[in-house]
Amino acid sequence: MKKFVKYTAITALVLVVLGVVLLSIGAIGGSVQGIKVMDEVAKKVKAGEFSIDAEDIEVLGDMGVEIEEWLDELGIEPTFSVNADIKFNDNFPVYSGGTIDLDFDAAEVKKLVFSLATCDVQVKSHEGSTLSIDADFAGKMQAFVDGDTFYVLATNSGVNVSAGDFELQVPEGMTFEEVKFDFGAGSIDIDELQGGEVMVSVGAGDFNAKKLVADSVILAVGAGDATIRDGVLGDVRAEVGAGNIDITAQITREVKGDVALGNLTMVVKGSGKGDHNYQVDCAMGEVNVGDYSWAGLATSDIFINNNAETTYEFNCAMGNIDVRFVE
């Protein structure tokens, strides 16, 4: 999990505190005060701001969780702001409030990057040849093409205040080499998207894709929700802190899922339970794969070898993992 958290920015602390810490709690047990710290952290993150004081760090240290080491390795300060983490590019205009309509030539664009505080976003296809944005904004926003990458950045106008909502229209059939969605709260709804590598980092918001086609997918959820309703995916990596990930898709390669205190639900199309190998570790949670079931403290380092080409690896602390197959 330590390596995976480095892929994201806004969600990093959510995963460190709600994910890494809860994984440790699942293994060693945690105090009532420690659980209270987790609850307070989740509420702060939903407001777009985060801070963990010396007393909280001491409580977690007594539980065996050296949170300062994690923060130091990730290069994150104990006080964290969703807005401060988003850095605007000085070479392009920043828009503040009002209605914004922008069009960009999509011919040279290969990558798509979203870095958002609290927004409601819709991504749709259109018959044109441009990347078009129609926004109604209260906060600050920047959209620009730099090299082969299209960036959309947005910050809140204040804590617990949405930066606004906007619609991004993508040329129908366009495939990106790389797509990154990194957002604190709010929602992102996608009709259809095609990409090589797709990375989604959700702090306390909602990510919903009706159809996603990708060579690889990385989903990181702190206290929010991520849903893929249909699609074709290669490798799948899913990390859940205290939120939920729900995937329904054809999956052609490897799967790795880590759950702390949330839920991972998968409906795998086009294959059966016997078409994959399984590596399972379960602390105080529950893992169900087809009619396989594991739960309780005694479940660790389980490997089922079906002599298959692909392996599904699951680690569950205090949450739930449920995998079903539809051939």
pLDDT band at residue 50 using 50, 70 and 90 as cut-offs? low
Considering the entire predicted model, what is its pTM? 0.79
Report the SS3 class of residue 50: strand
The secondary element (H helix, E strand) that includes residue 205 is none
Does the pLDDT of residue 19 top 60, yes or no? no
Q: How far is CA 278 from the centre of its chain?
A: 23
Per-residue pLDDT, 251:
98
Of residues 205 and 287, more confidently modeled: 287
Distance CA 12, CA 222 (A): 8
Enter the CATH code of domain 95-326: 2.160.20
Across residues 184-194, what is the average pLDDT?
89
Across residues 206-228, what is the average pLDDT?
93
* Residues 71-130 pLDDT 10s: 665 455 555 455 555 788 999 999 887 888 999 999 999 999 988 877 889 999 999 999
Following DSSP, what letter does each residue of 72-124 receive, concatenated? HHHT--SEEEHHHH----TTS--EEEEEEEEEEE-TT--EEEEEEEEEEEEEE
DSSP state of 285: S
* Residues 140-184 pLDDT 10s: 889 999 999 999 988 875 544 556 788 999 999 999 999 999 887
The single-letter code of the amino acid at 215 is D
> Among the ranges 57-66, 73-82, 232-241, which has the highest mean pLDDT value?
232-241
Specify whether the CB–CB gap between 164 and 139 falls below 8 A.
yes
Distance CA 150, CA 203 (A): 22
Report the SS3 class of residue 213: strand
- Residue recorded with tokens 């105080």: 284
Of residues 285 and 103, more confidently modeled: 103
Find the largest Cα–Cα distance for the chain. 59
Distance CA 128, CA 130 (A): 6
Question: Residue ranges per domain, the chain?
Answer: 2-85, 95-326
pLDDT band at residue 59 using 50, 70 and 90 as cut-offs? low
Strands 206-209 and 175-190 turn out to be: parallel
pLDDT band at residue 277 using 50, 70 and 90 as cut-offs? very high
Total Cβ atoms within 10 A of residue 171: 16
